[in-house]
Structure 1
Amino acid sequence: IRFGNLLFMSSMVSLFFYVSLLTMLMSGIGANFEYDLKKIVAFSTLSQLGLMMSVLFSGNFDLSYFHLLSHAFFKSLLFMCSGLIIHSMCDSQDIRYMGYILNDKPYMGTCFMVSNLSLCGLFFTSGFYSKDMIVEFYLFSNFNFFMGFLYLFCISLTVCYTIRLLFYTLFFGVVTFSFRSVSEGQSSFFSLIILLFFSLFFGSMFMWLTFLTPILFFFPFYIKMLTFFFMLFGLFMYVLFYNLNIKIIFLFNFFGSMWYI
């Protein structure tokens, strides 16, 4: 971001944009076919990095930096909660064995859910303000239909693997361990409180107090609701990918292995 102006002196800007978009696509699909919790979080981080770089190579440095800061808080909360979950599961990282964590650890489960919902861009969380502005920025830009749809599809993949992760870890899943820790512990309580607060309110505070001039996009109501529509589309894709995982083993092996790269 600091040397962003130098990037546009090169003729490779378009190539970098397509590479970042491809990074979002590959990491988003890979996260939907992965069962390792650490790998899912890593794919999620890679996908968000691709999102930030695509905004950067589109010329909007401030918006890329805004999403970088908001993403730092809810992803830090997600990393901490994931580490605590793995520790409580005796170092097991398979999400298929992590069911009903919300019942055993309600506070940590709530923090984990808030961080994931902020990652999805749920209304009025920290991630909503940056992601909604990114979506509106691309709708306002001069992209063709295919590129616009591909970009929104990549964003919907985030909702898809997030719902899948919450489904396996918090609500359902298969509990097969005869021993698992149900204590939430007090050592990480203060850190989770701080990150939870910023995951909820940082986006609004930063946008309202830091930007010298407000960034406003005027669209019809159905365009403004695109974030919500693509959250529903991500839910539909989760059901689709879930059935594909069961019926087509080849797709699971192919996408779960990062396309055999």
Structure 2
Amino acid sequence: MNSEKNNIDMSNVINKLFEGDCLEYMKKIPDGSVDMILCDLPYGMTQNKWDSYIPLDELWKQYNRVIKPNGAIVLTSNGVFTAKLILSQPNIYKYKWVWEKSKPTNFLNAKKQPLRKHEDVCIFYKKQPTYHPQMTKGEPYDKGIRKNQLSGNYGDFEPVHVASDGDRYPTDVIYIKTAESEGAVLHPTQKPIELGRYMVRTYTNPGDIVLDNTFGSGSFLVAALMEGRNFIGIEKNEDVALFKKEEIDYIDVAKRRLFLAWEGLDKKTRKYIKEENLIAEFKER
């Protein structure tokens, strides 16, 4: 066992929100206990204190400890931060998704640079994780008998029937509307719940545990809950400049959003959720 490991039972951390430094709180999570890490880390692209880098060496020390051997680590990123993130753990970096957004940004530089309309989602893992490709519908086709170019060498091909019922495997470019399409935007870097749901469906199974160690307004926690997954949430909850710079308690914001999501869940989805801690969180509101 890791010497840093605290003797905390997973039942005491599942479906709970923790306020504080994620590097300290993650030490309380048992080794190899998390099925997926889904997190929108600070990119360090602004001068705001809340957007400061988390030291990546220390972060990966905890990520690699708490994730299961076949768990997926899924991190949103952009620009220089994408490069830093990939190079911080090149041995387990596998690929990235390109999230095409519905609304571009960077209008202040529109006469000098192209508008920004995508962000990255970087995928890391040690062993092949759960992978449920999110199929889309296209036109069915039947191309008849063709040569299977993967079946032989030097022109020795086997015949294969090439046909499709219309299901299409996903590409690494996905279009998902930005957060304002889902309601109030409560954090300056708020991600859409639907982006989180897509990733959760892809890399986990119902009842799995998803960690978000900088949950902000809670979009990815809500995504996990809506897909029948349990979660662990950590947020420093520092003051964030937003609109008129009003003070926002992101622990409370996340609880409210989780409560609304829980109220909307059907029994089939709720059966995968360990309710005790979740209900206790709601009672503290």
Same fold at TM > 0.5: no
* TM-score of the pair, normalised by structure 1: 0.27
TM-score, with length taken from structure 2: 0.26
Q: Which has the higher helix share?
A: 1
Larger radius of gyration, structure 1 or 2? Answer: 2
Structure ranking higher in strand proportion: 2
